[in-house]
A and B are shown apart, each in its own frame.
Chain A
Amino acid sequence: MFELGIAFAVLGMACASFLAGAGSAIGVGTAGQAAAGVVTEDPTKFGKVLVLQLLPGTQGIYGLLIAFITMSQIGLLGGSPDMTLAKGIAYLAACLPVGIVGLVSGIHQGKTSVAAINLFARRPDQFGKSLIFPAMVETYAILGFLVSLLAVSSIPGLNI
């Protein structure tokens, strides 16, 4: 049964990085198409639309962070990867918030970024405000990340 524990933990780690990463990939990809369109019209806007394009990229990073912390805690990066089944499942559960919220919020933040890029293309003086709309979506990714982080970092202390 001990082997299954680590398998679940690795599954959790993988979920954190691939779900959140996929969300970011979709988001950054969608925003990138709009950004490229703006740059064809006005190449001087490159720097700022790039910033707007990158906004949905953070979910992937949060996912990576959780994955990395999980990896180092379960001993995949050196150490003894032994754990109970319950702990393994706990890791999987702890990784889910950042993964799933990352996926969904990444996609939607990408769409909001597209809208923000359009806003900026038409009203270049409103760059400050255009940054805020995608950042609103990110709040929930941050909350998911926090929950995952606090959960993952408190699992080793659990007596299960």
Chain B
Amino acid sequence: MAVLQMERIHLLAMKRDRKKILELLQRRGIVEIQDAGGRDDVFDKMDTSATRTLLEKNADTAAQAVEIVDAATEHKKPFLNFLEGRTPVAPKAHDDFSERRATVLRRAQGVVQHQRELEEAKAEILRAEAQLEALVPWMNLPIPQNFAGTRKTAVFVGTLENEVSRAEILEKLAAAAPQLDAVDVEVVHTSKEQTCFYMVVLRRDAAMAEEALRSVGFARPPSPSRHMPQEQQARLQKRIDDAQEKIKKAAEGIAASAEHRADFLFLQDHMTMRAEKYGVIEQLVQSKHVFVLDGYVPARVAGALKEELEQHFECAVQLIDAPQDDSVPVLLQNNGFSRPSEVIVASYSLPGKADVDPTTIMSFFYYIMFGLMFSDAMYGLLMAGVCGGLLLAKKNMEFNWQQNLKLFFWCGVSTLFWGVMFGSYFGDLLTVVSDGFFGNPIIIKPVWLDPLAQPMTLLMSCLGIGIIHLSVGMGLKIATLAKARAYADIVYDVVFPLLVVYPLIIILMGSEMFAGLAGFQLALPAVVNTICMVVAVVGVLGVLLFGGRESRNWVKRLLKGAYACYNVIAGWLGDILSYSRLLALGLATGVIASVVNSMGLMVGGGMGLLGLLPFVLIFLFGHALNFGINVLGAYVHSNRLEYVEFFGKFYEGGGRPFEPFGIHTKYYKIEEETQNV
């Protein structure tokens, strides 16, 4: 209903109370901290970025520890987990935890360390296994792979590509180095890809032999070992065993920490909270013994907070009415019915300094238009039922989820209403089933009209809703201008345009064309027509003369006025026609539902009662699809009508959201916090 009045709070307190005061403010969650200004000889600011980085790192460690423990114990998140909300704890439990946090942090770091060791050991096993595999062809080698020879001989151990025999190797060598005599070659292993061998030559021939080998494509083993192959194999095996032992130990360590999962979660929250607190400390100015805090607090709770602070601490609290400008954060206050749609307003833009809070009025139209576009009684019942049920079942749900579900609950109720008006219950399900399977059609009559049979009547009604919606927007424009005391602007920007638009609408409704479209004739007496004409001319003159009133040059002013006239007429025409989407999307739901039902009947119709089975399958799939598509459509286009057509008439936006210093945790909430603003 309104934008909450904010007060500026200045707090001057002793530094020794800083921790306590900040913790109190954090738990209350009602003060947005501002930068308390510059430094001078006495006052200075603290750089807490190093501490914050450390705290954030610790929070991250805790998060990692939870992840690791969860992966190890195959912890599954329960279904609809996000609706459970944070676990409430008493402030005492949190204070107790502060004493244990070092232990818990060490334990979390231990888990992360274990995980690191585990991963390293796994990599080690992979490496050792690869080496073992590479060693297999060399098992018959009677010397270590990197054996270079004796005093008199040189030894080369290595491979040639493809399968080659000892004779072929000797032949190749002879061709490459004819002077080389005293050569011995022993093949250890051959396969299609490679031949493993070693060669002994006299040491003085070593250089020549190496040259010859290189020319025939000789390659040494990739990582030659200094141990005998059997021994090397045993060593590798031992490395694998050791690594496996390490993995076992690390896994045991992780498993042993699994019982501390809750502590880790708490630790993460604790560190996040402290990081936020240190962020605030950076905004304070502090002297040797005192500190100054500056911020905004909603006026409604400001007095109580001042009292509480002054009662518990030696401090001076000053409250000043916040100035009326865009630097003041915006917090909206609405009743339970409209509050859920604050989020719709916020995702456009919060009210700026000149705006009135449009939420309440917007919410009515939002629900009505959503229902008109979704327009199936059973879909509405389903949506309202599921949202309502969840709201009742999960009391601890987070605030934002509650609001979202409430939004869709009310949209569902409206959908149910319009569905009954249009006689659509899963489309024409009852008629199709009773006729197709039982040969006895039951038709539920719409309470108001059948949109397919009388699309024109419905179209006119939708445009009528549009005219009302837009007019309410103009009403809010009056409120906005009145708030700014710009009474002349009300006449120029609201009254004159409406004097153009309304008479034209009435004339149009009396015309032959309208009668042809709507199917009934509005018998307007001729005098009404004349009056309307006169009024419209007055309106046009008004807009023409004052539409460009900011220009001093009269020629410019009249040209601008003429353009304003065009804009009023074309703009309203476009805006009103835009509401035809209410009809289009409403029809879409009903017709797709009927298409699904008819398809089900086509498949299952000929088979008697047995045909109900394929019918049900098609029904479930088709209606789920239709539900999804049309919820999306109704949501998007309700938003659009509010944002573009409605807000376009009066709303500026540009407000800054109120972001109080508080407890922004993931898993636990401290119970006091519940006194939300």
Contact = CB atoms under 8 A, between A and B. Distances in A.
Interface in A112-160: 126-129, 131-132, 135-136, 138-139, 142-143, 145-146, 149-150, 153
Contact of B632 (A54, A126, A132): A54
A129 B658 CA distance: 20
Interface stretch (B353-361, B438-446, B575-583): B575-583
Contacts of B456: 150
B254 to A, nearest CB: 25
A119 to B, nearest CB: 13
A127 B348 CA distance: 9
Nearest to B630: A61
Interface in A87-132: 126-129, 131-132
B143 interface: no
B643 A132 contact: yes
Interface string B572-594: 00000110110111011001100
B455 A135 contact: no
Interface in B436-459: 452, 455-456, 459
B156 to A, nearest CB: 50
Interface in B218-258: none
A147 to B, nearest CB: 10
A146 B603 CA distance: 30
Contact of A128 (B632, B633, B639): B639
What interface size band does chain B fall in?
A: 20 to 34
B637 A135 contact: yes
Interface in B328-344: 344
Contacts of B584: 62, 142, 145-146, 149
Nearest to B602: A77
B183 interface: no
Given A61-B629, A146-B584, A150-B456, A128 B592 contact: no
Interface string B640-651: 100110000000
A77 B598 CA distance: 10
B347 interface: yes
B411 to A, nearest CB: 16
Nearest to A126: B347
Residue picked from A58, A69, A143, most chain B C-beta under 10 Å: A58
Contacts of A136: 640, 644
Given A58-B633, A68-B595, A149 B587 contact: yes
Contacts of A135: 636-637, 639-640
Contacts of A65: 587-588, 591-592, 595
A55 B637 CA distance: 11
A101 B240 CA distance: 67
B595 A153 contact: no
Interface in B595-649: 595, 598, 629, 632-633, 636-637, 639-640, 643-644
B452 A58 contact: no
A45 B563 CA distance: 44
A64 interface: yes
A57 interface: yes
A17 to B, nearest CB: 12
Contacts of B644: 132, 136
Given A51-B632, A150-B456, A143 B577 contact: yes
B21 to A, nearest CB: 31
Nearest to B594: A68
Given A61-B588, A128-B639, A135-B636, A146 B459 contact: yes
A131 B640 CA distance: 9
Contacts of B633: 58
A36 B585 CA distance: 28
Contacts of A131: 636, 639
B332 to A, nearest CB: 15
Contacts of A139: 578, 581
B588 A62 contact: yes
Nearest to A69: B591
A77 B643 CA distance: 41
A157 B197 CA distance: 96
A127 B347 CA distance: 7
Contacts of A142: 580-581, 584-585
A60 to B, nearest CB: 10
A51 to B, nearest CB: 6
B456 to A, nearest CB: 7
Interface of B: 344, 346-348, 452, 455-456, 459, 577-578, 580-581, 583-585, 587-588, 591-592, 595, 598, 629, 632-633, 636-637, 639-640, 643-644
16 contacts: A51-B632, A57-B629, A65-B591, A65-B595, A69-B591, A126-B347, A128-B346, A129-B347, A131-B636, A132-B639, A132-B643, A143-B580, A146-B580, A149-B587, A150-B459, A153-B455
What are the 5 A-B residue pairs with the smallest beta carbon separation, nearest first? A128-B347, A135-B640, A142-B584, A142-B581, A65-B591
Given A129-B347, A142-B581, A149-B584, 18 more contacts: A54-B629, A57-B629, A58-B633, A77-B598, A126-B347, A127-B347, A128-B639, A129-B348, A135-B636, A135-B639, A135-B640, A139-B578, A143-B577, A146-B459, A146-B583, A149-B455, A149-B587, A153-B455
